[in-house]
């Protein structure tokens, strides 16, 4: 299996590289808990259409090394940049989901956009959902911390009990098989307890609003109206308003897991965006 070493500390990180080497490059950065398998409904059809689709398992996730450190946002962003450099990728469309959107933004503001042509923030946690000095309407950080405490107490129940809201399964148009939903719950356990807890702690103080405002490249923001994990008014809409050159696409009835429930729509939008249309 292909691996590269983190520029932060040498952690071995597993990556996948699908499609023709000469294709336009799309790099996918995952949500918390998931590995690259979360993007199967985007990576496979886009690779078949001629794009080069690259993704990696975050440290402590999937087939990457189980480590204690490196879960601060700077280190996570350095891992993303390490992948771009390892494969010498250019003119990249960089796609992040959930917390992965913050890693994408920090990667750009920390390392520059010489390798990146455009960015897609899908169901993003960025700029940050919690209340802060420049975001008084945000969620009380104590509520985020309470959710983190529930995760530590029983993460199996945390994943299982949250699946319906994650995919907004009670809303029309979000039909998924029980088998698929269960498989994704099981996939969450591919992240170590340490990795999951550390990323949860990161969300409490997450604030990349000033960084989004400095992005000097096209930004596609995709968000669902019923995202329970990252409420649209606190995250997606703010990101679209902050980014100087943004396109905002709202998916009706979609939850956080729109990569599955709205798979064809998301894949088509990413293809159009990557092609510069």
- Terminal Cα-to-Cα distance of the chain (whole angstroms): 35
Q: What share of the chain is helix, strand, coil (3-state, %, to 5)?
A: 40, 20, 40
Task: Identify which of 19, 15, 9, 12 has the alpha carbon closest to the alpha carbon of residue 29.
Answer: 15
- CB burial readout 81-105, b (16+ within 10 A) else e: bbbbebbebeebbbbbbbbbbbbbb
Query: Which residue among 14, 86, 223, 256 is the active-site one?
Result: 256
Alpha-carbon Rg for the chain in angstroms: 17
Cα(141)–Cα(96) distance, integer angstroms: 23
Evaluate whether 36 touches 44 at the Cβ level (below 8 Å).
Answer: no
186 in active site:
no
Cα(15)–Cα(180) distance, integer angstroms: 23
Query: Which residue among 6, 32, 98, 229 is the active-site one?
Result: 98
Contacts of 12 (CB under 8 A, 6+ apart): 3, 4, 5, 6, 64, 65
Contacts of 269 (CB under 8 A, 6+ apart): 220, 222, 249
CB-based burial label for 118 (10 Å; 0-12, 13-18, 19+): buried
32 in active site:
no
Query: Which residue among 57, 65, 81, 227 is the active-site one?
Result: 227
Distance of alpha carbon 84 from its chain centroid, rounded? 16
Task: Identify which of 162, 94, 95, 99 has the alpha carbon closest to the alpha carbon of residue 125.
Answer: 99
Cα(265)–Cα(246) distance, integer angstroms: 18
75 in active site:
no
Residues with catalytic function = 98, 227, 256
């Amino acid at each position: 299996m292909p691996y590269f070493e983190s520029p932060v500390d040498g952690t071995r990180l597993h990556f996948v590289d699908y499609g023709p080497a000469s294709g336009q490059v799309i790099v996918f950065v995952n949500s918390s808990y998931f590995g690259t398998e979360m993007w199967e409904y985007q990576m496979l059809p886009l690779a078949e259409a001629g794009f080069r689709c690259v993704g990696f398992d975050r440290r402590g996730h999937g087939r990457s090394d189980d480590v204690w450190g490196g879960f601060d946002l700077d280190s996570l962003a350095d891992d993303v940049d390490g992948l771009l450099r390892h494969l010498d990728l250019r003119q990249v469309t960089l796609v992040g989901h959930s917390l992965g959107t913050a890693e994408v933004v920090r990667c750009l503001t920390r390392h520059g956009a010489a390798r990146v042509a455009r960015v897609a923030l899908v169901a993003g946690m960025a700029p940050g959902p919690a209340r802060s000095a420049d975001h008084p309407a945000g969620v009380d950080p104590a509520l985020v911390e309470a959710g983190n405490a529930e995760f530590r107490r029983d993460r199996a129940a945390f994943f299982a009990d949250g699946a319906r809201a994650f995919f907004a399964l009670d809303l029309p148009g979000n039909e998924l098989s029980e088998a698929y939903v269960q498989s994704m719950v099981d996939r969450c356990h591919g992240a170590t307890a340490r990795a999951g807890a550390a990323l949860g702690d990161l969300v409490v103080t997450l604030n990349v609003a000033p960084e989004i405002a400095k992005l000097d490249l096209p930004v596609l923001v995709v968000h669902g109206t019923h995202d329970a994990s990252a409420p649209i008014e606190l995250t997606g809409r703010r990101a679209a308003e902050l980014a100087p050159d943004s396109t905002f696409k709202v998916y009706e009835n979609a939850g956080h897991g729109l990569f599955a429930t709205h798979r064809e729509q998301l894949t088509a939008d990413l293809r159009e965006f990557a092609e510069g249309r």
